[in-house]
Amino acid sequence: MNNQRTMVGTVVGESTTQEFRIAVTPGEVQVQDLIALDALVEDEGGEKMDIRIWAKIEAIERMNPLFPLESGQELADLRVNPFDTVISMSREMITAQCRILGYEQKQEHGKYRPLKKLRYPPQPASSAYRPVKEELQRLIMGELGEGHRAHRRLDIGWLSARRDVDLFIDGHPIVARHVAILAMTGAGKSWTAKRIVEQLAQKKYPIVIFDPHGEYASLAEVAKLSGQVRNYYAFVRVLDEDASDVVRLIGGLSGSSLSPRMEDLFGDLFEFAQHILTDPEQRQELRDWLLQIRDNQYLSQYGLNDDLFGIATIGDYARELIISGNQPVLAQLQSWGYNGVTGLNRRDAETLKGIAWRARKAAAALARMASINRRISKGQEALPTETRQLVDKGRISVIGLAGYSSDIRASIYSLVMDKLFNDRVQDSIRLPFLLVLEEAHNFVPDTPLSDPEKQALQITRQIAQEGRKFGVGLVMISQRPSRLDQTALSQCNSFVIMRLVNPADQQFVRRVIETIGEQEARLLPDLDVGEAIISGQSVQFPLLVQIKPPQARSKKEEEDLIRDVLNYTAGKN
């Protein structure tokens, strides 16, 4: 494309301060193109001034007045190609509807003032032209092109209609005022999020990512991010939870809920486990004492763990002591902190057996999930107990949640983020940071169906509403925007909207996102992969862009599974 202004049309018909129509030079423009026209207007003092009016092409219409519907129908009936007839094609008319973005006035030293609202319509017969690359770049960058804000620029993509024009967005609204990335599956949500993460990482901005599918583990393989990415595998610390939550967890994972009497007995057992198993020295002393009572190969080999297996082991030993009637040993167990164990009877012993069975089955299910999580998330480190370690200058902390059920994911997320946000509020974490939340509709649902979902929604709402005051930004990524909580979404000031086909999601976007116009909304089902409409405070005005590819690519994007099967040789990887 040349670097000179190209005339693309002439203003025709009626024009207003909001829109006008141009007769288009064939083949010179496309929908969402940015065009300009020059005008001479009077300022408040009556002085003439030259201005440039900027507009966006929203729709293009094409017609031939010499080829009416009747002629077309007749030729169709006769199965005649119109181009083989004498019908004139030279009178074809192409017009475009243009939405006015504003006007600018050139100042001294060649600088331009920011866009202002037009208060007088453009003159018919004015020539519209396609600006050169530098003019467009200056327009879309605005104050980001100036030195005092250049550090906030994020190189995101190209204008879809002008691939020679790079798009830089303002990173400050991203990290301070929240952003939503919304698109159907396969449209490029994670692609876009990775691009944003990589751009912010170059500026050493701390980022915490909750990754349900292992999409972001590949960030660690990017050479430019060497040493910055930490992949953590997540696991459930049941002893950090409330007893009532653990009861529901055991019931859900074991497939057998706990009876009211089981819940009562579990309360004392869990309180004892919290007291004894969280202290490594006391846990070791209890293990040795239990082995003196009765040898246990599993306990001897694997020890007494601070998890559901440990709780089940204590329950089994308590049951045996109750059945044997060994009151002195039971009294000693009570002295360790197991309240009420000396008052339990044989029926309670059978109840403890049921508790231990369920706890062990739930523990095995959790262990399987944890194994899958560690494999998919490529976690090299366990999620630290001191969550403030996740935030540091230049650090990208990826918390893998793959393999876990939705409720467990929500529990892990709410526990970690509750601690992180409180630490930031209390200034225990000194740096601001950005939270990236994939599959946000599962953590910020419009209608939470379980207690973990309610807890996740509560902390996310708090971050969305108060995070900007404490330097905690939020990126919500979802393929089902209509299932997102509107309160949290309304706090986002920037939006990246990619292809959406579901009518409910399209309608939701039209209703909730004020910065998206009707014409932009109509484009949503037809956007290409990686193409997006960006709107809100991160850009001057809504723009149709092609997102540049991130350096980190997931296996889902790279692998050709059909080719893998065709090339498979038995006995070889």
Distance in angstroms (rounded) separating the CA atoms of residues 184 and 509: 13
User: What's the whole-number mean pLDDT along residues 361-388?
Assistant: 84
- pLDDT, mean over the chain: 87
The fraction of the chain above a pLDDT of 90, given in percent, is: 43
Predicted pLDDT at 7: 92
- Asked if pLDDT for residue 4 goes beyond 50, the answer is yes
Between the two ends of the chain, the Cα-to-Cα distance in Å is 48
- Sign of the alpha-carbon torsion through 210, 366, 260, 330: negative
245 vs 156, which has greater pLDDT?
156
Tell me the CA distances in angstroms from 22 to 125, 187, 474, one per residue in order.
9, 33, 41
**pLDDT digits 0-9 by tens, 196-236:** 999 999 999 999 999 998 889 889 989 899 889 999 988 77
- pLDDT confidence tier of residue 175, bands split at 50, 70 and 90: very high
- Asked if pLDDT for residue 50 goes beyond 60, the answer is yes
Distance in angstroms (rounded) separating the CA atoms of residues 510 and 513: 6
- Asked if pLDDT for residue 573 goes beyond 80, the answer is no
- pLDDT confidence tier of residue 361, bands split at 50, 70 and 90: very high
Predicted pLDDT at 138: 85
Distance in angstroms (rounded) separating the CA atoms of residues 428 and 421: 10
Distance in angstroms (rounded) separating the CA atoms of residues 431 and 306: 32
Predicted pLDDT at 351: 94
- Asked if pLDDT for residue 1 goes beyond 50, the answer is no
**pLDDT digits 0-9 by tens, 51-85:** 899 999 999 998 888 787 888 888 888 888 877 77
